[in-house]
Structure 1
Amino acid sequence: MNQESITRDATSFGDLPAEVHGMIASLLDPYDLSLCVLVSKSWRAIFHRYLWRHVAIRVEDSEDFDLQLVNLLNANREHIHSLRLSADYGDVLHSFMELLSPSSYPRPVFPILDSAEIVAGGFDESTDETMAQFLELTGAKWKRLVLKETEKSEYGLDFGSESMEVLARHTEFLEVFRWMSDTGSTDGLVEQLLCSAPKLKELSVVGHYNSTGGYLDAREIVDMEWVCLGLEVFECRIRRIPRPDITRNIGDSSADEYVVEGTLEESLDLQRQVYTKLAMLTKLQVLKLGLVIDFYNTSEYELGDKTYRRQFDCLAMTLDSGLDLLKGLKELRLVGLEDMEVYIGEKEQSWFKEHWPNAQIVLGEDFHDEYLE
């Protein structure tokens, strides 16, 4: 074959199918993509949309958001699938939304946005109304929503009934929901997701650095019809379970001051109903029911309160309480039981090895050594 025929039959990069372009672009980081768009006009036409597919914006102060940035986002809004916003100080979400408020911008602002991560910094007082407005920006369906906070956060991101009203229109497609909450009960918001998001793979509701976060009420969830049976990560406390088996003193007080009132029969019945509910999630790889709080980043006063902030109204995670109902969770790789009042003995340890051989069981640093022997 001569050189002329080789040149005539050769296929250029631009002739490759769009699917192949996408596969190649997915392997490149933002820096590499930025180089690709500089190669030629044809390469720019191919790679430009992938360069703007995932946008991460971090500023020191939320007031650093400017119109030049918004103009860039507006010019490339049709390419943006995921957006990450973070600021060390200030109300990151409110400041961002204020820049998008001029009526000259079309709605929805981001036609294909389906993933967002909002990271609150210090002095962030974002409201539920602002969060709802942000969720309205997309013309697509939300697949991933992550609400995080930093060690500097004092107030956190508010996700309430208005935000849930918007997200509820997207639950058929939602796959990931992570929420660092400084509230107590989840006010039925997380429960609503469990009952309306069939594609949900990850549910994480934890406390931020200065609180213990939200929780699910055991008495309420047992009567719910969960639809997210493909859930792979479940990270949320389950509370309000009577634990009359806790008889030790808690600090200088008797257990009665911290334990939910109820008989042993009521406790075991409720626990077995909760276990039965969790047993439906046969795809679980991570099950974290423990208290998620970083005591090492808190003040000495709060650290001293750790004894009183344990979970005394949680699952006992013993065979006597119905643990065997979870033997079908064969995919588990991590079970977090930190700072829970659990009584793991030799028979529970043997059960873990038999039924969850590939799972790491995390009990917390202050767990009594005799339970691990």
Structure 2
Amino acid sequence: MKIKLNAIIISGIILTGAIGCTAQKQGQNDQTVKFIKNEADKKVDVMVDGKLFTSYMWPDNVYKPILYPLLASTGTPVTRGFPLNPREGERRDHIHQVGNWLNYGIVNGYDFWGNGSEGKRNVNGGQIKHSGIQKMTDGLGEGSLQTTASWIDPQGQELLAETTEFHFIAKGSTRIIDRITTLRASGGEVTMKDTKEGSFGIRVARQLELPSKDDVVLTEANGGTTTVKKMSNEGVTGNFKSSEGVTGEAVWGKRARWMDLYGNIGDEKISLVIADHPKNLSYPTYWHARGYGLFAANPFGVKDFTVGKQELNHVIPAGQTLTLRYRIIINSGTHLSDAQINAYTDEFAAKY
């Protein structure tokens, strides 16, 4: 019997082209997540099938570890390039809002959120110093990264010891980041005084901002104001949608279990979602989400969000911990439906 070279015999059954098709299909779904550590450049690149997804970075002039840039499965950046790699047509306000980060505006009186807003370390600015990569685990469809960091005041004293576990997940045209961060009050009692300036944030690409016709004047935590200038709306397509059905800029200060920022970057449809977790403080969280491109979940700023009707001022007792869990979903090619986002959010809630 003659057998063609491209055929395989298994239990007397000849399998030909179907094997190639099956392998190709599996290859599309089973994407390999790997890490490339580069201490000299102070970063760890997160690669999916050899292509950059994001980098965990700790630049000296950003004053906190960040994920930057965040890329869709196509390689399209969904985060703003400024200030590390400015792109034409971007806003250049709020220099401290870089990539994706977790910090807060008033920690024992020190500003961790706005540090660097003056182009250098602020006088009252707290810094989150990366201290180590504890573990990197490559995987098929998912890889994990464990890091440590120290929240220090302007005098160099540690207030909080941070341990973070990242899970980077690749599912076809969808990219997911799960972050589980535990903060231990290592330097005595820590108070997170209520402020809107927090805390799990992303500064998005210009195309995902909400169209705006006017200047926006923002009141800052220090009592001053920042004016975000109006710009051309050409190619600006973003809109917010919450799990509670609130849309547009009305989502600011509202509570929701997830928030979707959807729009188009060129011809590419993008959904960028942040999901809260039922075990988190203040679940479902409040949202510090602005049309000019700031997208943040803030469980601490109750007084600002309720216009003084309620107050939290969360305290972490000396030696005790607070754990925060968030999921980022980046989908390319389609705008996710509520049902799809609910499924991803339910999966996240059950996983951790």
Shorter-chain TM-score range: under 0.3
Higher share in helix:
1
Higher share in strand:
2
TM-score, L = length of structure 2: 0.23
Q: Between Structure 1 and Structure 2, whose CA radius of gyration is higher? A: 1
**Higher relative contact order, structure no. (Cα contacts within 8 Å, ≥ 6 residues apart):** 2
TM-score, L = length of structure 1: 0.22
